[in-house]
Structure 1
Amino acid sequence: MLQGALTNPISYDRFVGGEDSQALIESDVIVPEDMPDAINVIAVLGESVINDVVESDGKIQVDGQLKLNIIYVADKDKKLAKINKSVDFTHFLEIDGVDSKCKSIVNCRVEHVDFSLINSRKMNVKAIVSVYGRAFAKEKKEAIVGIQGDEGVEYLKKTIKLANIVGQNSAETFLKEQIKISDGEPNVSKVLKVDMVIKPDEPKITDNRVIIQGSVHVYIVYEGDSKDEYGYEECDLNYANFIDVPGALSYMNANTYERIIEKNIEILPDESGDNRMIDIELVLKTDTIVTEKDETEIPVDIYGINRNVEPVIEKIEAISQQGRFKSQAIFKENVEFKNNIRRIIDVVAYPVLSDYALKDGKAILEGVIDYNIIYIGDNGNPMSYKDEAQFKTFLDVPMDDGDLFVDLKVTHITYDIMAMKEAELKFVVDATVDAFKISKYDVLIDAKEAEDVRSEENRHSITIYMVQKDDELWDIAKRYRTSKEEIIKVNELKDERILAGSKLIIPNKI
């Protein structure tokens, strides 16, 4: 390194890579001894939960759990019955360059569920779980910021933008609520289905902490005491907690990733002894990543006027911008059944993201909504209808390029029977996109000085130079070993702007 060089470390986050992949999880399910035989499986609700993430050489190991709620028709009274089962899974995201020092964000969602009845006591379930993750590495580079006794040395300085990860952590929040069945709704025989939508508020940061709050909307579908009798209840569970993140300060930015990792739903009697109370207990896990936006000016080139100082430049790739963008869209689908329907009990839906791209300042998302309608047919028995609906939506993302981390949720479904064999569905789809812009920067990491023999073109006291297209004043001054200020002064320029085709007087020192 050049004697007298002054250096300063530049810390930045490098985007290592990412992968969007799918895990196929298959399991046979045995009907418990105390439950009736099955004559038909009509719906399977699948939820995926990540329990642990481990970064190692070239891969990210994701350990998770698929939670299944299987709804079937019992053979005796043709009423609905349900079985809950959990299936552990391990999936690997193959990402070159990942090691144990990397940090990552990982998420998963169920995209499709197939089911079949093998016999009256056994059924098979296959689920496709989308697992997607992004990996980042913390890097440090020593950059030259000056030279002692730097008379006759010129620097080109540029401002670079960095989005550094300050820290990440997680916390669990326990939520509990007891709701009373509304007047006019039937007593509860069994809970068939529970939908939960997490609605987080914007996190706030204080010194070394991220404050989280929001609500979980719970929608319950249950079976009443009589056949063909179903009830619905919904409520909101508010939550507030904090996550310790050392180094976090109020001006920084925090992104959170929420999921329900445990839930317990219990039917309770009211004061009259009727089953008209539902006790809800949830465990919400929230992961957070705190980032800091930084703009810093560093020398990216150097040369000497009286000394032969040559730069040693290295290119780095750094995350220069990070942002979270959200949208909500409604998609309609008209359904025509093969037979008459008396009523719709509920709809199970999974969003399937087939393609996404960043174009013209927008993130374009395309895919299908895989749905299953649970309904009562004209014979009075529970039935199901499966199909998919196309969707395409977009979000405003003010970046010209970058990597996208996309999360989709069907947060609300409404349905109306239009005719005996026709219904209209409306799906509300929430999209969250974390966008990472990756920029390449020149960093001056060293400078060398050698004995200098000035070229003939630089031995003249004055040179006339014709400005070429894309010329910068810095490049011209460096080529002729003079300073930008001297060129501006001699040519009486107002600033550094120069036009192609114009002539410049270049003052050279002999």
Structure 2
Amino acid sequence: MELKVIKESIALNEVVYDSFTELPIECDVLLPDYCPDIMKVLKCCATPVFTQTTTEGSSLTVEGYALLELYYLSDSMKIRCSEHKMPFSRVLDLKTTPENPAVSVSATVDYLNCRAVNQRRVDIRGAMTLSVKVIGQKNENVVCDAQGGGIQLRREAIDTTRVEGCADRQFTVREDLELGYGKPALGAIVRKQAQAVVTDCKVISNKVVIKGELMIDLFYLSEEDEKPETMSYNLPVSQIIDLPGVDEDCRCDVRLRVLSCDIQPKADLDGETTMLSAEVTLCACAKAYRATRVSAVSDAYSTTHEASYADRTVTALRLIELVDDRHTYKEQLELPDEVSSVLHLWCDAAFTGGKLEEKAAVLDGRLTLCMFALDSEGSPVYFEKPVEFSHHVELTGDENNLLADIAMRALTCEFTPTGGGIEVRAEISICGALYSVVQCTVMGELAVDENKPRQQDGSAALTIYFAQPGENVWDIAKRYHTSMAAVMEENAIEKEQLRDRATLLIPLVV
């Protein structure tokens, strides 16, 4: 009987690019006219902001800017801040042309140095490292079935995850904010921070509906005596993202990113600066996943003729878990001897890597505790301390080859004075996706040589075989050119893998 081979094209997702690239930070900063002169530089911070990623052919273009915040002491020995944006663009060669690419970009600042050239100009030099991951779809033409020629097939079910689609939607939140009751009028904003988190996500046909919260934190000096004050605001946000092809069976990784934040003092009806005009531009990013199972032939032989085939190993991604956790970090922090009191504390979080331990994913991060304080002479000073932390995500199955696409952000950072130090408590948002990199064998070609029939020993209808623990019935049947189903039926075996020693009867298949 002639062999009939049936092939299908199966779609698999794989990582087509996963690498790091360094970007320089080089900027000469001139203070705006409304900023007082620099007496002493306290700290310069850089925050990478990504505004757009574009793939064209085998090229990926990453665009954004580094938000530079220069904290310094003015001639009145008060903390001031001047913000500057340094745009950047980097074109990366992906070495291939991905189909339906899903891009993830993050960055960490390696170092940042600043030097005051004069009272109005600062020279800033540093570097940051971009981490870029690109997931693309590939189509593999594989053997999925065959009939005739005495062919025996071993099929393998491949559980994978397909990226159904990605979409971004930018929107702007404008709000007039009031200082809290009893708060003095605002003189100068020293530090502002805007962050957004997703609180609810619902997938409907071709759309993703998200709800979230925009959190704004301020550290400012009062208008009269320039005393330091803080304020926090939580604003609800919501968006509908169009994502063709998604439905209720999809799982979504949805994140909110702050692209820009502009907060300006505003006078109230009495002419006092007790209000703020806030304009925050955000980007809602949605990535939809669909669990898929594809069947492919991984091994074959013929009971009647010599068979030949060409197999290969393919790599695919399977979504393990969508992470949306909170991690609480606590520490008793001893203050330097020269610090008399703490004015303001904040922290920055960064994901540093992930690994598997038993049935859990361990996500490592770095938290940088940043502090404005007063020294023994009453002058403002700056201190920082980096600390390491780990967060465990429990997994239901035994996984291997972890790939983590994780973002960490410090949402809140509070402190309580203790004897000789402070107790720090920070809440860190950990969100993203955990993948397992699956490797499996598929068959691309299969043939039976009708000119080379197998020589059968017709003198014996059964062969006795002494099997050892751990042997596979498929391998035994293939060795004796018989049917695995016939061996299992003859010996009343239910599972393909043998646990104990066994004496098997190997039937002859003609």
Q: TM-score, normalised by structure 2?
A: 0.89
Residue 429 of structure 1 deviates from its aligned partner by 2.6
The equivalent residue for 1:218 is 216
1:16 equivalenced with 2:8 (yes/no): no
Distance 1:433 1:361, change over 3 A: farther
Counterpart among 285, 288, 291 of residue 289 in structure 2? 291
The equivalent residue for 2:139 is 140
Tell me the amino acid that sits aligned with residue 69 of structure 1.
Answer: E
The residue matched to 2:32 in structure 1 has which SS? coil
Native 8 Å contact 1:165 1:290 kept in 2: yes
Tell me the amino acid that sits aligned with residue 8 of structure 2.
Answer: N
The equivalent residue for 1:475 is 475
Residue 483 of structure 1 deviates from its aligned partner by 1.6
* Cα distance between partner residues in 2 of 1:499 and 1:338: 67
Distance 1:227 1:307, change over 3 A: same
Size of the aligned set, in residue pairs, is: 504
1:264-343 correspondence to structure 2 within 5 Å = 264-325=262-323, 326-341=325-340, 343=341
The residue matched to 1:428 in structure 2 has which SS? strand
Native 8 Å contact 2:168 2:285 kept in 1: yes
Distance 1:103 1:183, change over 3 A: closer
The equivalent residue for 1:371 is 369
Counterpart among 195, 198, 203 of residue 197 in structure 1? 195
Native 8 Å contact 1:331 1:428 kept in 2: no
Distance 1:230 1:497, change over 3 A: closer
Bigger mean CA deviation after superposition, 474-483 or 111-120: 111-120
Distance 1:323 1:441, change over 3 A: same
* Cα distance between partner residues in 2 of 1:109 and 1:9: 40
Residue 464 of structure 1 deviates from its aligned partner by 1.9
Unaligned runs of 5+ in 2: none
The equivalent residue for 1:116 is 115
Residue 457 of structure 1 deviates from its aligned partner by 6.0
CA offsets 1:30-73 (integer angstroms, 9 cap, x no match): 22344321101223343221122244787744222011232221
Counterpart among 167, 170, 176 of residue 168 in structure 2? 170
Distance 1:339 1:458, change over 3 A: farther
Counterpart among 389, 393, 396 of residue 395 in structure 1? 393
Native 8 Å contact 1:40 1:73 kept in 2: yes
* Cα distance between partner residues in 2 of 1:17 and 1:488: 45
Native 8 Å contact 1:154 1:302 kept in 2: yes
Bigger mean CA deviation after superposition, 32-41 or 365-374: 365-374
Distance 1:417 1:329, change over 3 A: closer
Tell me the amino acid that sits aligned with residue 294 of structure 1.
Answer: T
* Cα distance between partner residues in 1 of 2:232 and 2:61: 36
* Cα distance between partner residues in 2 of 1:199 and 1:352: 16
Distance 1:33 1:282, change over 3 A: closer
* Cα distance between partner residues in 2 of 1:263 and 1:175: 10
Residue 168 of structure 1 deviates from its aligned partner by 0.9
1:231 equivalenced with 2:229 (yes/no): yes
* Cα distance between partner residues in 2 of 1:499 and 1:397: 27
Bigger mean CA deviation after superposition, 117-126 or 8-17: 117-126
* Cα distance between partner residues in 1 of 2:60 and 2:320: 22
Tell me the amino acid that sits aligned with residue 430 of structure 1.
Answer: S
Distance 1:115 1:346, change over 3 A: farther
* Cα distance between partner residues in 1 of 2:3 and 2:488: 31
Native 8 Å contact 1:50 1:108 kept in 2: no
Residue 130 of structure 1 deviates from its aligned partner by 4.2
Residue 170 of structure 1 deviates from its aligned partner by 0.6
Tell me the amino acid that sits aligned with residue 68 of structure 2.
Answer: L
Bigger mean CA deviation after superposition, 115-124 or 198-207: 115-124
The equivalent residue for 2:184 is 186
1:209 equivalenced with 2:204 (yes/no): no
CA offsets 1:81-128 (integer angstroms, 9 cap, x no match): 321210012346676x44454432212355654433332222233455
1:432-451 correspondence to structure 2 within 5 Å = 432-450=431-449, 451=451
**Identity rate of aligned residues, in percent?**
16
* Cα distance between partner residues in 2 of 1:34 and 1:490: 91
The equivalent residue for 1:131 is 130
The equivalent residue for 2:461 is 461
Tell me the amino acid that sits aligned with residue 79 of structure 1.
Answer: K
* Cα distance between partner residues in 2 of 1:176 and 1:210: 23
Bigger mean CA deviation after superposition, 423-432 or 452-461: 452-461
The equivalent residue for 1:84 is 83
Distance 1:212 1:432, change over 3 A: same
* Cα distance between partner residues in 1 of 2:138 and 2:253: 21
Q: Over aligned residue pairs, what C-alpha RMSD do you find?
A: 2.8
* Cα distance between partner residues in 1 of 2:109 and 2:213: 22
The residue matched to 1:65 in structure 2 has which SS? strand
* Cα distance between partner residues in 2 of 1:327 and 1:20: 27
Distance 1:355 1:245, change over 3 A: closer
Unaligned runs of 5+ in 1: none
The residue matched to 1:38 in structure 2 has which SS? coil
Residue 401 of structure 1 deviates from its aligned partner by 2.8
The equivalent residue for 1:70 is 70
* Cα distance between partner residues in 2 of 1:36 and 1:296: 66
Q: TM-score, normalised by structure 1?
A: 0.89
Distance 1:128 1:215, change over 3 A: farther
Tell me the amino acid that sits aligned with residue 171 of structure 1.
Answer: R
Tell me the amino acid that sits aligned with residue 348 of structure 2.
Answer: Y
Tell me the amino acid that sits aligned with residue 283 of structure 2.
Answer: K
The equivalent residue for 2:25 is 25
